[in-house]
Amino acid sequence: MAVAELNGALIVNEASFFAESRRAFGFHTATGDTIDTWVDCLSYLRDDENMTKFRLQPDEVLEIVITDSAALRSRLPDLVDEIAFCVGGINERYEDYGEKPALELVLR
């Protein structure tokens, strides 16, 4: 299983979330720092788009691990909720295309 780890201790605002996401997922620096771009980049994990450093096989799942998630939730509860919502939406997008869900969110 592929794993992308976001260090929740380093995420103190939206800007640091996107910086940590660029590091963990290998997003290109040219991608915009918006949640829509985050969703778009993680919606092509099984395609040749190279929007992340990950290229998943048809049955493979990318585990997104957020460490120090309790502290992150106390600082930015809306962000944690939005990440979970987006992961669910991305998985629905995969299912709409007849594929298995590609993401699993793990809060540690």
Q: Give the pLDDT band of residue 65 (cuts 50, 70, 90).
A: very high
Does position 31 have pLDDT exceeding 80, yes or no? no
Q: What is the pLDDT of residue 70?
A: 97
Distance between CA atoms of residues 108 and 13, nearest Å: 19
Classified as helix, coil or strand, 64 is strand
Return the pLDDT at 55: 97
pLDDT band at 46, cuts 50/70/90? very high
Q: Which helix (H) or strand (E) element contains residue 7?
A: strand 2-7
The H-assigned helical ranges of 1-108 are 14-25, 35-42, 69-75, 77-96
- By the 8 A CB rule, do 93 and 87 touch? no
Tokens linked to 21: 């996401």
Q: Indicate the pTM of the whole model.
A: 0.95
Is residue 68 predicted with pLDDT exceeding 90? yes
